[in-house]
């Protein structure tokens, strides 16, 4: 299928589909006239990217994780780096939450002092 249809089917913008390719996460065939030609396999991949992206991952991280993804459900093939990357991501998120929580505390303090 062409890029427009894939975009419609997955809800990912044409712009981003091309971006995925530029970043090396996707490598669709090309028609003779140069149009991208996506197969069902590629559609799967896009859904997986979307799924991992929803978990807040960077495309760069997703790229490293992609070979380990088996389904669109959370099902993975145990690659060696897999656990490490996932754990690292959780740690990263925890850090961010911690930072935000501190900011929140500070702001709440300000807010209280205004009363």
Partner DNA sequence: GTAGGGTCTGACAGCGCTGTAAGGGTCAAG
Partner DNA sequence: CTTGACCCTTACAGCGCTGTCAGACCCTAC
* Tokens at 94, concatenated: 């925890």
Q: Closest separation between CB of residue 110 and a copy of itself, Å? A: 5
Among 31, 58, 72, 101, binds a copy of itself (CB under 8 A): 101
Residue 28 DSSP class = -
Site string for DNA, 35-74 (x = CB under 7 A): xx----------------x----xxx--------------
Does 66 bind a copy of itself (CB under 8 A)? Our answer is no
DSSP states along 42-109: HHHHHHHHHHHHHTT--HHHHHHHGGGB-SSSS-B---TTHHHHHHHHHHHHHHHHHHHHHHHHHHHH
Q: Within 1-20, which residues bind DNA (CB under 7 A)?
A: 2-5, 7, 13-16, 18-19
Q: Please, which residues have CB within 8 angstroms of residue 16's CB and are 6 or more apart in sequence? A: none
CB of 77 to DNA, least distance (A): 22
Q: Compute the least distance from the CB of residue 14 to DNA, in Å.
A: 6
Residue 58 is a binding residue for a copy of itself (CB under 8 A): no
Phi–psi pair at 30, nearest 5 degrees: -130, 140
Q: Is 107 in the site for a copy of itself (CB under 8 A)?
A: yes
Check residue 98 for interaction with DNA (CB under 7 A).
no
């Amino acid at each position: 299928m062409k890029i427009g249809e894939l975009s419609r089917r997955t809800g990912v913008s044409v712009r981003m589909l091309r971006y995925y390719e530029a970043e090396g996460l996707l490598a669709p065939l090309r028609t003779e006239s140069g149009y991208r030609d996506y197969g069902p396999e590629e559609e799967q991949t896009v859904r997986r990217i979307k799924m991992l992206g929803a978990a807040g991952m960077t495309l760069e991280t997703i790229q490293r994780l992609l070979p380990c993804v088996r389904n669109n459900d959370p099902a993975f093939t145990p690659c060696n780096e897999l656990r490490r990357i996932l754990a690292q991501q959780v740690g990263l998120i925890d850090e961010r939450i911690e930072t935000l929580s501190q900011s929140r505390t500070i702001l709440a303090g300000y807010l209280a002092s205004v009363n």
